Chains A and B, each alone.
Chain A
Amino acid sequence: MTTRSRSRLSLALDILNHGGLLIVALIFLFPFFWMVSNAVRSNAEVLAIPVRILPNAFEWDNFAKAWTQLPFGRFFLNSLFISTSVTIITVIVSCLSGYAFARLKFPGREALLMAYLGTLMVPAIMLIIPLFLIVNSLGMVNTFQGVILPVAFGTFGAFLMRQFFLSIPMELEEAARIDGASRLRILLSIIVPLSMPAIGLLSLFTFIGQWNNFLWPLIVMTGSENATLPVGLTYFQTQAGTQWNFIMAGAALSMLPGIVLAILLQKLIYSSIALNAGMGGR
């Protein structure tokens, strides 16, 4: 074989390699396409046999109808409020605890940190029953505080922030300390602005985790008006005469924030997962 034909062969293999994965990726994306394609057709067309890949008539206003009539709009706002609140509390609490663990000396620091790490091993589903009983005894069933507070104090954030704070040079805050700034001031005006990558990461994963959370809001939000989007989606699923087109529109709405964030913040997500890959099993 000449060098030229060999390089031509390797180019052909390269194209085949990319094309092959492209086909796999397109097949993988099919459920997203199917969701949108069924969201914008009439319900009769969703149930038509044989199936139609594309609707005969596009009904784009199904999204608006699903938002107002079902009411996925209300569920969307409930989800947004709950996820945002949990994220804000988690970030504040994690920064405070993380700073104490990273920079302040106090008796029992290492032991407490180990206790924080230990709680990460407890699977969420284990706590569902006692948490519900606590929320019940506080009279917070079917309230936003009932759904928000029990999930807003995860210990992972404190550990994440501690790790990041440790990487910030001590000298940066020493000058401020000599000037007599309080620890809270130092945290707010020096440490936090430098920690935006870690805070962003914590916010992103907390927000998405809560946005996608199902079992906890399902149990606490007993009234349909307070349901989150995932819980709301299941309300219409078993009723006779299921409006599949609206449900698909609702499903698309619920997926939108995650998809947008996954695309926009792909570098942040990749670098955080790469960090896991680098530390894996060590």
Chain B
Amino acid sequence: MAAIDQATELAAKPRARWGNRLERAEARTAFFFLLPGLIGMVLFLVVPIIASVVLSFTNWKLLGTPEFVGISNYLRLFTADPQFWPVLRNTLFFTAEYLVLNIVISLGLAVWISSLKMGQRWFRVVFFLPTFTPGIAVAIVWMLIFAPGGFFDFIMGALSIQIPSMLTDQTLAMQAVIIVSLWAGVGYNTVLFNAALDMVPQSYLEAARIDGANAWQRFWKIRLPLISPTLFFGTVMTAITSLQVFDQIYVMTRGGPGNATATLGYAIYQRGFQNFQMGYASTIAWVMFAMIMALTALQFWLQRKWVHYDN
């Protein structure tokens, strides 16, 4: 009897997977539930990704017929375009400085907030506020602060620091963009790291205190290793967004002075929507994607050395 049961069960199995009527009905329901999302995803994600690859091998200029030009866009980008290497350098410079300062400042603020006995959540809200406001508005307010004879110059004057106007100076313009980006961006990581610090079990810190570890040692030996997975997550996400920087630069400098603050994101916009070189702009976009992937891979490789996962 049991053998027969087993036999019928075995025979029924392949059909039972998707064969029976109820399950087919369920799959049909699933199809209708997924349909709106699928149409949207295919039309606005899958097709654009494929189109972007194809475009990067053409010389399409919006009007006229696109012509397949092989890898000549990529060749031109790396060997002939006088603006590409400065743009790449600016992007990497921005990302490196912004990333390091963002993580250091937000971690510092997170630790400081977690040391408070009261008002923690209000401090979190304060530093988080710019995160929820349009980057364009933030940049415009800071433009007024940095304007010649504006508040920044006023403070510098009061401190008797001789400094050229931030937004029109070749080297300082990028620093101005970084300051604004930091103000707009540290809040998220501050809250993220603060939340991670809150999850460190008090008993660990208590045990270390009893063993005679001071606050400095408790931070480096216990809290930092325990929040390192979150630190890693924050670093990866921040790196990905900072490689795409655009809004602040569009408002504050338009890539200038000269091309001192022109980044990859700005170059894509400029080539694509000011010069209408859709093919060439797509090439730059793919270079950016390759950089994002490379940087993320590098960070995943590095994490083995410093990220501590407790299992």
Chain A residues at the B interface, C-beta cutoff of 8 Å = 14, 17-18, 20-21, 24-25, 28-29, 31-32, 34-35, 38, 46-47, 49-51, 92-94, 96-97, 99-100, 104-107, 109, 112, 116, 119, 122-134, 136, 149-153, 155, 158, 183, 208, 211-212, 214-215, 218-219, 229-231, 233-234, 237, 244, 247-248, 250-252, 254-255, 258-259, 261-263, 266, 269-270, 273-274, 276-282
Q: Given that A105-B26, A134-B44 are known contacts, is A126 also in contact with B285, CB under 8 Å in the complex?
A: yes
Q: Is B273 an interface residue (CB 8 A)?
A: yes
Q: Is B85 an interface residue (CB 8 A)?
A: no
Residues of A within 8 A of B150 (CB): 51
Q: Given that A277-B195, A280-B229 are known contacts, is A244 also in contact with B268, CB under 8 Å in the complex?
A: no
Q: How far is the CA of A46 from the CA of B141 in the complex (A)?
A: 12
Q: How far is the CA of A266 from the CA of B128 in the complex (A)?
A: 9
Could you show 29 A-B contacts with beta carbons less than 8 Å apart?
Answer: A18-B116, A32-B141, A34-B144, A34-B151, A49-B149, A96-B37, A100-B30, A122-B49, A123-B244, A124-B244, A126-B52, A128-B285, A129-B52, A133-B55, A134-B48, A149-B40, A183-B29, A212-B134, A214-B246, A215-B269, A234-B140, A237-B143, A244-B144, A254-B134, A255-B133, A262-B132, A273-B188, A274-B199, A276-B230
Residues of A within 8 A of B118 (CB): 18
Nearest Cβ on chain A to B193's Cβ, whole angstroms: 7
Which residue of chain A lies nearest to B121 when distances are taken between CB atoms in the complex? A266
CB pair A50–B154 under 8 Å, yes or no, is yes
Chain B residues at the A interface, C-beta cutoff of 8 Å = 18, 23, 26-27, 29-31, 33-34, 36-41, 43-49, 51-52, 55, 62, 109, 112-113, 115-119, 121, 123-138, 140-145, 149-151, 154, 183, 188, 191-193, 195-196, 198-199, 227, 229-234, 236, 240, 243-244, 246-247, 250-251, 265, 268-269, 272-273, 278, 281-282, 285-286, 288-289, 292, 303, 307, 309
CB pair B133–A212 under 8 Å, yes or no, is yes
Pairs A-B, 5 closest by C-beta atoms: A153-B40, A280-B233, A258-B132, A280-B230, A130-B48
Q: How far is the CA of A179 from the CA of B278 in the complex (A)?
A: 56
CB pair B124–A270 under 8 Å, yes or no, is yes
Q: Given that A122-B49, A130-B48 are known contacts, is A278 also in contact with B199, CB under 8 Å in the complex?
A: yes
Nearest Cβ on chain B to A92's Cβ, whole angstroms: 7
Q: How far is the CA of A12 from the CA of B52 in the complex (A)?
A: 61
Q: How far is the CA of A136 from the CA of B36 in the complex (A)?
A: 22
CB pair A262–B45 under 8 Å, yes or no, is no
CB pair B229–A282 under 8 Å, yes or no, is yes
Which one of B113, B140, B268 contacts A237 once the chains associate, using CB atoms below 8 Å?
A: B140
Residues of B within 8 A of A34 (CB): 141, 144-145, 151
Q: Given that A35-B141, A270-B124, A281-B230 are known contacts, is A125 also in contact with B265, CB under 8 Å in the complex?
A: yes
Which one of A28, A99, A150, A277 contacts B44 once the chains associate, using CB atoms below 8 Å?
A: A150
Among B27, B33, B39, B188, max chain A CB count under 10 A is at B33
CB pair A129–B268 under 8 Å, yes or no, is yes
CB pair A230–B45 under 8 Å, yes or no, is no
Residues of A within 8 A of B282 (CB): 129-130
Q: How far is the CA of A280 from the CA of B237 in the complex (A)?
A: 11
Residues of B within 8 A of A129 (CB): 52, 55, 268, 272, 278, 281-282, 285
Which residue of chain A lies nearest to B44 when distances are taken between CB atoms in the complex? A150
Q: Given that A14-B117, A35-B141, A99-B33 are known contacts, is A107 also in contact with B265, CB under 8 Å in the complex?
A: no
CB pair A234–B250 under 8 Å, yes or no, is yes
Residues of B within 8 A of A134 (CB): 43-44, 47-48, 51
Residues of A within 8 A of B27 (CB): 104-107
CB pair B132–A259 under 8 Å, yes or no, is yes
CB pair B119–A127 under 8 Å, yes or no, is no
CB pair A254–B137 under 8 Å, yes or no, is yes
Which one of A92, A97, A127 contacts B48 once the chains associate, using CB atoms below 8 Å?
A: A127
Q: How far is the CA of A36 from the CA of B149 in the complex (A)?
A: 19
Which residue of chain B lies nearest to A138 when distances are taken between CB atoms in the complex? B43
Nearest Cβ on chain B to A48's Cβ, whole angstroms: 9
Q: How far is the CA of A31 from the CA of B282 in the complex (A)?
A: 36
CB pair B292–A21 under 8 Å, yes or no, is no
Residues of A within 8 A of B26 (CB): 104-106
Q: How far is the CA of A136 from the CA of B48 in the complex (A)?
A: 13
CB pair A211–B149 under 8 Å, yes or no, is no
Q: How far is the CA of A20 from the CA of B109 in the complex (A)?
A: 11
CB pair B37–A149 under 8 Å, yes or no, is no
Q: Given that A123-B240, A130-B47, A280-B234 are known contacts, is A247 also in contact with B140, CB under 8 Å in the complex?
A: yes
Which one of B49, B127, B143 contacts A28 once the chains associate, using CB atoms below 8 Å?
A: B127
CB pair A251–B141 under 8 Å, yes or no, is yes
Q: How far is the CA of A3 from the CA of B82 in the complex (A)?
A: 70
CB pair B113–A21 under 8 Å, yes or no, is yes
Q: How far is the CA of A93 from the CA of B35 in the complex (A)?
A: 9
Which one of A96, A126, A229, A250 contacts B36 once the chains associate, using CB atoms below 8 Å?
A: A96
CB pair B55–A281 under 8 Å, yes or no, is no
Which one of A92, A133, A230, A277 contacts B278 once the chains associate, using CB atoms below 8 Å?
A: A133
